[in-house]
A and B are shown apart, each in its own frame.
Chain A
Amino acid sequence: LAKTTQPISMDSYEGQEVNITCSHNNIATNDYITWYQQFPSQGPRFIIQGYKTKVTNEVASLFIPADRKSSTLSLPRVSLSDTAVYYCLVGVTNQAGTALIFGKGTTLSVSS
């Protein structure tokens, strides 16, 4: 069962900043938050990962508040090529290992 909740879809225009928020109320102490991007007819690819506060890389920023019950993926100045599905996930760890449980994702549509 997916542990995360995120909007089904979002629309934006080129050049805008896009923020996608994910809710993970039952996040465990050891859980990391990871975001993936998926283009049509391709497998998802890793974007960014964090545990707390803020993480930034060349593609995006990830903001995690102190209670870690939510996180926000920020895409600066999106372009048409950022149109994709974005998945937020939190690993489900038991004695066997860590299962990566994806939800339905957020479909981002960027227009000119």
Chain B
Amino acid sequence: DVKVTQSSRYLVKRTGEKVFLECVQDMDHENMFWYRQDPGLGLRLIYFSYDVKMKEKGDIPEGYSVSREKKERFSLILESASTNQTSMYLCASSSPGQATEAFFGQGTRLTVV
């Protein structure tokens, strides 16, 4: 069974902390994505990566960075967490190209207090 695993289901952090959200996939996929989901706004793309050490900005990269040192792992970093980054974060992976299916993790509910 294919799997995308996010390291935490729920996370509470303080304002100003550096936060790492980890995502691991076991499908040998080249593409990996980070989204945030907020009520009424749907899923918004933060960053995506199409290869190891490669990254591309999505629609809302401000306040975030990413790291992809290994093919199976894609990390989202909040350099200095703020309350407006309280959200559901979803990781996904897929093969290259468009005629492909993306697989999602269960999400991390991050609360910044």
- How many residues in A have their beta carbons less than 8 Å from beta carbons of B? 28
Q: Given A43-B106, A43-B107, A45-B104, is A101 in contact with B45 using a C-beta cutoff of 8 Å? A: yes
Q: In the complex, how many residue pairs between chain A and chain B have their CB atoms under 8 Å apart? A: 77
Contact present for A32 and B98 (CB under 8 Å): yes
What sequence of 0s and 1s flags, for each residue 80-109 of chain B, a beta carbon within 8 Å of any chain A beta carbon? 000000000010101011111111111100
Contact present for A43 and B92 (CB under 8 Å): yes
Q: A46 an interface residue at 8 Å Cβ cutoff?
A: yes
**Closest CB-CB distance, B56 to chain A, in whole Å?**
5
Interface size class of B (residues with CB under 8 A): 20 to 34
Contact present for A103 and B104 (CB under 8 Å): no
Q: B1 an interface residue at 8 Å Cβ cutoff?
A: no
What sequence of 0s and 1s flags, for each residue 15-52 of chain B, a beta carbon within 8 Å of any chain A beta carbon? 00000000000000011010100001111110010100
Tell me the residues in window 80-106 of chain A with beta carbons closer than 8 Å to chain B beta carbons. 87, 91, 93, 96-105
Contact present for A32 and B90 (CB under 8 Å): no
Contact present for A99 and B102 (CB under 8 Å): no
